[in-house]
Amino acid sequence: MIAFLARRLLQIIPTLILVSVIIFLLQQLLPGDPATVLAGEERDPEVIAQIRQQYRLDQPLPVQYVYWIKGVLSGNLGESMRLKEPVARLVAQKFPVTLQLALMAIVISLSIGVTAGVVSAIYKNTAIDYTVNLLALWGISTPNFWLGILLISLFSVQLGWLPASGYVSPFEDFWLSLKTTIMPAFVLGNSFAAVLMRHTRSAMLQAMAADYVRTARAKGLSERVVVIKHAMRNALTPVVTLGALELGTLLSGAVLTEQVFSIPGFGKLIVDSVFNRDYAVVQGVTLVTATTYILLNLFADVAYVLINPRLRG
Amino acid sequence: MIKKLALAAVVLGALSGAAVAETVVRIGLAEDPDVLDPTLARTYVGRLVFASLCDKLFDIDEKQNIVPQLALGHETSADGKTVTLKLRPGLKFHDGEALDAEAVKFSLERHLTMPGSFRKAEISSVEKIDAVDPTTVKLSLKNPFAPLIAQLADRAGMIVSPKAAKEAGDKFGLKPVCAGPFKFVERVQQDRIVLERFADYWNKDNVFVDRVVFRPISESTVRLANLKSGSLELIERALATDIKDIKSDAKLRLATQIEMGYQGITLNVGNSDNGKNGPFGKDPRVQQALEAAIDRDALNQVVYNGEALPGNQWVSPNNAYYQQKFALPKRDVAKAKQLLKDAGVATPVVVDFLVPNGPDTRQLAEVVQAMAAEAGFDMKIRVTEFATSLNEAEAGRYHAYLLSWSGRVDPDGNVFSFMSCTGPNNYAKYCSPEMDAALAAARIASAPAERKAAYETVAQMALAGGGIIYLYHRPVIIAHTVKLSGYKQLPDGLVRLTGVKVQQ
Amino acid sequence: MTALETPHSEIDDTSDTPTRRAWRRLRRRKSAMLGLVIVAALVAVALLAPWIAPFDPAKQSYTMVRKAPSALNWFGTDESGRDLFSRVVFGARASLLAGLVSIAIALGLGMPIGLLSAYRGGWTDTIVSRITDAMLAVPFLILAIALAAFLGPSLSNAMIAIGVTSMPIFIRLTRGQVMAVKVEDYVEAARAVGNPAYRIAFRHILPNIMPALLVQATLSIAMAIIAEASLSFLGLGQQPPAPSWGSMLNSAQRFLTQAPWMAIYPGLAIFLTVLSFNLLGDGLRDALDPKER
């Protein structure tokens, strides 16, 4: 197990280098000049040239890359062109927000998705199965921003139960924090719950048809024990992987939802920075989310091996 | 037990908080402002925050006249090359430092010399600044410059605390220290900017709000929802299509004005070979044909519910500098067809129509496309994200570009940079010595009548083929709750809280 | 005992191919057939749009702006007075293409790479896995925006961007599935008997991993349709005035309170499409599953 862990940890290094290169190439792909975008309506050519020089935009890409990587290795993620703030500070400000939202969404989707998946697998091809399936389909086929606005107009405008947008830290006011994040977390979790439900159902059906489950049944174990101890244990392997992958995605991908609910997290920060060509922020934030994502992957792989020891080796 | 006590404490805290509540105004912004340093700032939305944070030497009134703010008045010498400003006595910055002539000199010099300053171009006519006495500043100009005072009524006229600015350098925007009615408390990027009342403000008797919170909320629907649910007191840039809804809500009030800027279509008349050989570069009559094909009233009805003000010049028909002689023409498809025929271009005229993505730009482009089609244009819409569109426009890879301008107090700010040969905003690459001469004359002349005469030439040439078709002037739409009273809207779209009272 | 139940043992059954058997099983499932019928109907609507739509989807009418559904305009009209029913009908083209083509690209590229990676192992696997990890680690929308912006705004470029960006998930899923199947008894048995690698891959591994890939593909089609909507929102998808459901939903957003029908019908269209693909995918999964009897 230790050898396996060490190997996986070593694999992270080339992946991270690749990620940093991809992020840099992305910057080259994006049309538009950061200095021009930064200037906006105030298009003074002299100032634009000055900005280019100040942020080394006039230098060749490899040179820029070396400067950036040097900074990163010494713990300096650079400075936002648009806001004149260190990227590290922006990351520290946004990370807890997005993490809270992502975790809440994962909890919501796991509790809905896995339960629904197991139930519909057990009651395969009955009315219960169909109903659960339909609900899951509804969840996945509703675009996030559309559902978000519907929820806002119902719970905030019509009923006045929940704040329409914004974010409050749980350390500031726990209940208010829960109230501001429950709708976006539900919107995020809702669509993923459907994915989880389908995978759980599929995996459960496969597992329940497998030999060891049949053997367990043949031994006269109760259906409950068969389902929980034998089928679920195996069926949940891909689900765990997916859950970890999704958490990584949520850390950076809650873009439209964060936009609709005006949540000051990573997704909103990245998109705003892409549109403003604020490269230092895009690079810094993407690097942080990518690293988190890769670590979560490692965790998923370890879980995979723990559950399915045959893969160890 | 402990939990219960804690809960009780929280409840009590909330109750007592309500009892001695300070008055708070929470404002929903359409975007997250950029850096809060008057020298480095460049966005429209940033100006909304500055209106509460940083006072300027001058301000404007509802009719766009210049009125005193930090300065009491100004005097221009006969040759137009010396401007003397008289300051209010006893002014203070948020950090308690005195705002005197030396501080004004420091701020203006900062605008002129700081690397990356976006103010430099606005006041580059200033050669030397002298602090004559604590309340008198003398500006020596390289050449007469009529728009100068109007520039000092905008960001270039914002005065920052020399002490704080020297300490913070280019990080000043993280904790700005100015002399506006409210001082900076904190900012969480993309979440909130908090200001509190400044006790030593020169006009403190007219400030009735204790705290201002700006919250960026990009979706207009959500902004309005927040206002309705009571988590905001005021929102900017409400949609024209929501006006009916806002009016019918007894808890809401509406404040509107026509903007100082405009919505237009820039036509590539000379930017790269693509422009020179394109439909608009070949013959100015093609521009006239497109203009004749557009029904501005219908456009206004469809896109702005009739709330905008159609116009054909860089200032609105309400403005003193609007040239009545070239008043708004009616749509004339037959004339458009005839013009195309006279120009000798083959129809349909294929136009690469570059459209920056935005909430209503797509709709506007589609309507223009349909109208132009009737006269023989085939406008091929290309919607691109804003940053890319700037790049395309700069390189001349377009024939028509849908572009709006947020507007400046002086008419010069709406036209010079767009139509002078070397103007930085001249995407069309229109260039005519006659136009340059007229624009320069309007800058030098100080009497309004003289300036207006110079602008007549500008208007005539612009309409004949200056590379911009002006469509309309959009409405500034501010909605607020009935709890706010005394709110007045000015055409610059900014939110001024002086004089505003909050009912608890 | 296990080996007897896997498809490779049924070589004697020449008249009944696995495909034909799968089709027979698929036909027995009412929900799957319903899905198939709806998908077929949607494809027909997309193909026959000019004959089905009562109006030109780009024809504006300034006197008919944002009118509620009526006998003339069944789904009402949009912000420029265009007939929504006609736009929904024509929008089926963009949205179906966006869903199908981009996932075909993702699956077509991702499955072979994943299969190769897992089967060859060693350096091939290491390199593919690292690149996949790196691509997955970069946010989906950022990758898609950069690609689509680079290629230029159009529907086909948006499809390529979505396809390439969704590819890593298929590589990863294929690889994971193959790794799990590789150690199963029947594959070991096939290998022991001396079957060549490609035969094992196609006869024994592929049929076993198809169900999971199909489930993912049907779900990904839904995501691709929504991703196309997001790209349209950013100006990187279908160019106006041609409609797509995604861009219709986006313009409807501004008028939710005044003209809810503008959002309801394109939303329903997306829902129906996703529903039918899922029903079909579900049926296919069961029908293709060799363990399912």
In chain A, % of residues over pLDDT 70: 96
Report if residue A83 sits inside a domain.
no
Q: Which residues of C touch A286 (CB under 8 A)?
A: 138-139, 142
C285/A202 touch (CB, cutoff 8 Å), yes or no: yes
Inform me whether the C-beta atom of residue C185 falls under 8 Å from chain A C-beta atoms.
no
Strands B349-356 and B400-405, bridge-based pairing: parallel
B117/A90 touch (CB, cutoff 8 Å), yes or no: no
> Quick one: residue B115, left, alpha or beta (phi over 0 = left, psi -120 to 50 = alpha)?
beta
Inform me whether the C-beta atom of residue C58 falls under 8 Å from chain A C-beta atoms.
no
A253/C134 touch (CB, cutoff 8 Å), yes or no: no
Residue for token pair 């080394």: A56
Q: Which residues of A touch B391 (CB under 8 A)?
A: 31-33, 36
Q: Which residues of A touch C212 (CB under 8 A)?
A: 202, 238
> How would residue B300 be classed by pLDDT, with cut points 50, 70 and 90?
very high
Q: Tell me what the mean pLDDT of segment B254-264 comes to.
A: 93
ipTM of the complex: 0.79
Name the residue among B239, B366, B388 with its Cβ closest to that of C80.
Answer: B366
> How would residue C288 be classed by pLDDT, with cut points 50, 70 and 90?
low
Query: A20 to chain B, minimum CA–CA distance in Å?
Result: 23
Query: B111 to chain C, minimum CA–CA distance in Å?
Result: 35
A264/B188 touch (CB, cutoff 8 Å), yes or no: yes
B241/C253 touch (CB, cutoff 8 Å), yes or no: no
For position C13, what pLDDT does the model report?
A: 43
- Selection from C18, C84, C11, C34 nearest residue C54 by Cα: C84
What is the chain B residue with the closest CA to A180? B231
B178 or B424, higher pLDDT:
B178
Is 70 exceeded by the pLDDT of residue B284?
yes
Q: What is the SS3 assignment for chain C?
A: CCHHHCHHHHCCCCCCCHHHHHHHHHHHCHHHHHHHHHHHHHHHHHHCHHHHCCCCCCCCCCCCCCCCCCCCCCCCECCCCCEHHHHHHHHHHHHHHHHHHHHHHHHHHHHHHHHHHHHHCHHHHHHHHHHHHHHHHCCHHHHHHHHHHHHCCCHHHHHHHHHHHHHHHHHHHHHHHHHHHHCCHHHHHHHHHCCCHHHHHHHHHHHHHHHHHHHHHHHHHHHHHHHHHHHHHCCCCCCCCCCCHHHHHHHHHHHCCCCCHHHHHHHHHHHHHHHHHHHHHHHHHHHHCCCCC
Is 80 exceeded by the pLDDT of residue C278?
no
B170/A149 touch (CB, cutoff 8 Å), yes or no: no
Report if residue A88 sits inside a domain.
no
**Any idea how long chain A is?**
313
C258/B360 touch (CB, cutoff 8 Å), yes or no: no
Inform me whether the C-beta atom of residue C240 falls under 8 Å from chain B C-beta atoms.
yes
Are A245 and A113 contained in the same domain? yes
Separation between Cα atoms, residue C50 and residue B454, nearest integer Å: 55
B189/A46 touch (CB, cutoff 8 Å), yes or no: no
Number of domains in chain A: 2
A241/C176 touch (CB, cutoff 8 Å), yes or no: yes
For position C289, what pLDDT does the model report?
A: 61
Token pair in block for residue A15: 């992946």
Is 80 exceeded by the pLDDT of residue C21?
no
Separation between Cα atoms, residue B181 and residue B200, nearest integer Å: 9
For position B453, what pLDDT does the model report?
A: 93
Q: What is the pLDDT of residues A152-198, one digit of tens each?
A: 777 877 777 888 777 888 888 888 888 888 889 998 888 788 878 87
A137/C274 touch (CB, cutoff 8 Å), yes or no: yes
Are A62 and A201 contained in the same domain? no
Is 60 exceeded by the pLDDT of residue B20?
no
Are A64 and A201 contained in the same domain? no
> How would residue C257 be classed by pLDDT, with cut points 50, 70 and 90?
confident
Q: What is the pLDDT of residues C126-155, one digit of tens each?
A: 889 888 888 878 877 778 777 877 787 788
A198/C215 touch (CB, cutoff 8 Å), yes or no: yes
For position A253, what pLDDT does the model report?
A: 60
What is the chain B residue with the closest CA to C78? B363
DSSP A78: -
In chain B, % of residues over pLDDT 90: 73
**Any idea how long chain B is?**
504
Report if residue A80 sits inside a domain.
no
Query: C206 to chain B, minimum CA–CA distance in Å?
Result: 42
> How would residue A311 be classed by pLDDT, with cut points 50, 70 and 90?
low
C57 or A296, higher pLDDT:
C57
Name the residue among A137, A140, A297 with its Cβ closest to that of C133.
Answer: A297
B226/A261 touch (CB, cutoff 8 Å), yes or no: no
B356/C235 touch (CB, cutoff 8 Å), yes or no: yes
Q: Which residues of B touch A160 (CB under 8 A)?
A: 229-230
Residue for token pair 């459209």: B355
Query: A173 to chain C, minimum CA–CA distance in Å?
Result: 31
Domains located in chain C, CATH noted: 20-54+80-287 (1.10.3720.10)
What is the chain C residue with the closest CA to A23? C138
Are A141 and A248 contained in the same domain? yes
> How would residue A25 be classed by pLDDT, with cut points 50, 70 and 90?
confident
B117/A47 touch (CB, cutoff 8 Å), yes or no: yes
B225/A157 touch (CB, cutoff 8 Å), yes or no: yes
Q: What is the Rg, in whole angstroms, of the alpha carbon atoms belonging to chain B?
A: 25
Q: What is the pLDDT of residues B229-245, one digit of tens each?
A: 888 999 999 988 889 88
Chains that touch B (3 or more CB pairs under 8 A): A, C
C138/A19 touch (CB, cutoff 8 Å), yes or no: yes
What is the chain A residue with the closest CA to C29? A125
What is the chain B residue with the closest CA to A47? B116
Are A126 and A237 contained in the same domain? yes
Chains that touch A (3 or more CB pairs under 8 A): B, C
- Every domain of chain B with CATH number 3.90.76.10 lies at 55-172
Separation between Cα atoms, residue A124 and residue B74, nearest integer Å: 85
Query: B375 to chain A, minimum CA–CA distance in Å?
Result: 33
The CA distances from residue B49 to B202, B424, B449, B493, in Å, are 19, 26, 35, 12
Q: What is the pLDDT of residues B349-359, one digit of tens each?
A: 999 999 988 77
Is 50 exceeded by the pLDDT of residue C7?
no
Query: C252 to chain A, minimum CA–CA distance in Å?
Result: 10
Are A102 and A222 contained in the same domain? yes
Name the residue among A15, A144, A146 with its Cβ closest to that of C130.
Answer: A15
Report if residue A86 sits inside a domain.
no
Q: Which of B219, B246, B384 to mutate to test the interface with C (most CBs of C within 10 A)?
A: B384
B366/C153 touch (CB, cutoff 8 Å), yes or no: no
- Every domain of chain B with CATH number 3.40.190.10 lies at 24-31+180-259+476-502
Name the residue among A22, A141, A297 with its Cβ closest to that of C138.
Answer: A22
Report if residue A31 sits inside a domain.
yes
Name the residue among B40, B174, B406 with its Cβ closest to that of A85.
Answer: B174
Is 80 exceeded by the pLDDT of residue B337?
yes
Report if residue A211 sits inside a domain.
yes
Query: B215 to chain A, minimum CA–CA distance in Å?
Result: 8
Model's pTM, two decimal places? 0.84
Token pair in block for residue B140: 């020596």
Name the residue among C134, C176, C249 with its Cβ closest to that of A22.
Answer: C134
Q: Tell me what the mean pLDDT of segment B238-264 comes to.
A: 92
Q: How many CB pairs under 8 A join A and B?
A: 130
For position B5, what pLDDT does the model report?
A: 45
Name the residue among C135, C140, C291 with its Cβ closest to that of A253.
Answer: C140
**Enclosing domain of residue A61:** 2-73
Separation between Cα atoms, residue C236 and residue A31, nearest integer Å: 13
Backbone φ and ψ of A252, nearest 5° = -125, -15
What fold is seen in the domain B262-473?
Dipeptide-binding Protein; domain 3 (3.10.105)
B118/A47 touch (CB, cutoff 8 Å), yes or no: yes
Are A113 and A64 contained in the same domain? no
> How would residue A204 be classed by pLDDT, with cut points 50, 70 and 90?
confident
Q: What is the pLDDT of residues B132-176, one digit of tens each?
A: 999 999 999 999 999 999 999 999 999 999 999 999 988 999 999
Are A161 and A208 contained in the same domain? yes
> How would residue B430 be classed by pLDDT, with cut points 50, 70 and 90?
very high
A31/B388 touch (CB, cutoff 8 Å), yes or no: yes
Are A148 and A257 contained in the same domain? yes
- Selection from C218, C224, C221 nearest residue C246 by Cα: C224
Are A168 and A287 contained in the same domain? yes
Strands B377-384 and B349-356, bridge-based pairing: parallel
Q: Which of A146, A196, A206 to mutate to test the interface with C (most CBs of C within 10 A)?
A: A146
Query: B484 to chain A, minimum CA–CA distance in Å?
Result: 20
Inform me whether the C-beta atom of residue B369 falls under 8 Å from chain C C-beta atoms.
yes
- Every domain of chain B with CATH number 3.10.105.10 lies at 262-473
Tell me the CATH number for domain B24-31+180-259+476-502.
Answer: 3.40.190.10
For position B161, what pLDDT does the model report?
A: 96
Is 60 exceeded by the pLDDT of residue B325?
yes
List the CATH number of the domain containing A281.
1.10.3720.10
Q: Which residues of C touch B298 (CB under 8 A)?
A: 62
Q: In CATH terms, is domain B55-172 a member of 1.10.730.10?
A: no
Are A118 and A13 contained in the same domain? no
Per-residue buried b or exposed e for C224-254, using 16+ beta carbons within 10 Å of the residue's own CB: bbbbbbbbbbbbbbbbbbbbbbbbbbbbbbb
